[in-house]
Amino acid sequence: MTALHKRRCGPCTACCVALKIEAPELAKKAGEPCRHLKGGCGIYENRPDVCREFLCGWRLFEEFGDDWRPDLSGVLMMRKAPSELPPAWQGRPYGVHMVIIGGEAAVRRPAFAEQVARLVARNIPVVMSAASPSTLVNEHLTTPTDLHSKLLELYALLHAARWERGYLRMIPSLYRLLLDRQYAKLLSRSNG
């Protein structure tokens, strides 16, 4: 990871739509286009600090190639500070949050599973969400060979638990995610 990667956003405006922003100068819901988005940022030269200071994972992590730009890959990555991670993972230097903005096709890309596998092998916490609550992928894995199918399964559950569906319709998918994580923990304890 570099302190500041020099890539430029170019035509990508994924963060202008996907992210929730709660700043006095700019507030918007996740999944809603920013009011200043007009083909590109309509106030780019005078954009607020919350936008100036944001670096997506594609700009921050050198290990992600050009094809990982969010508008091309369908994945908006963000670095998570240790304090933002679950307590058991706060000893790690950082985590990677992968927000799936390109639907199932983004998860089906072989590069997606390969990159998640590399991060997990380095014991980096990988968080995944899809306009939904998030889940820590590492805690759902039982064997390295099930990674691609497990990522697709987790995406399907996260997709079913989208915020816009309402809380009652989210409950079965969230419960299934919880059971899946507990099952993986039990298997890893019995195998270890």
Please check the confidence at residue 187 and state whether its pLDDT lies above 70. no
Tens-digit pLDDT profile for residues 72-89:
999 999 999 999 999 999
* pLDDT cut 90: percent of the chain above it: 47
Give the span between the Cα atoms of 76 and 120, in whole angstroms. Answer: 18
Between the alpha carbon of residue 69 and those of residues 76, 106, 171, the distances in Å are 8, 12, 32
Q: Which residues contact 75 (CB under 8 A, 6 or more apart)?
A: 68, 98, 99, 100, 101, 102, 106, 112
Please check the confidence at residue 164 and state whether its pLDDT lies above 80. no
Between the alpha carbon of residue 103 and those of residues 12, 74, 84, 176, the distances in Å are 17, 7, 25, 20
Please check the confidence at residue 154 and state whether its pLDDT lies above 70. yes
Mean per-residue pLDDT over the chain, rounded:
85
Please check the confidence at residue 147 and state whether its pLDDT lies above 50. yes
Please check the confidence at residue 176 and state whether its pLDDT lies above 90. no
Tens-digit pLDDT profile for residues 24-83:
889 998 889 999 998 888 888 888 999 989 999 999 998 899 999 999 999 999 999 999
Place of tokens 């091309």: 72
pLDDT of residue 3: 41
Please check the confidence at residue 1 and state whether its pLDDT lies above 50. no
Q: Copy the structure tokens of residue 129.
A: 């969400």
pLDDT of residue 45: 87
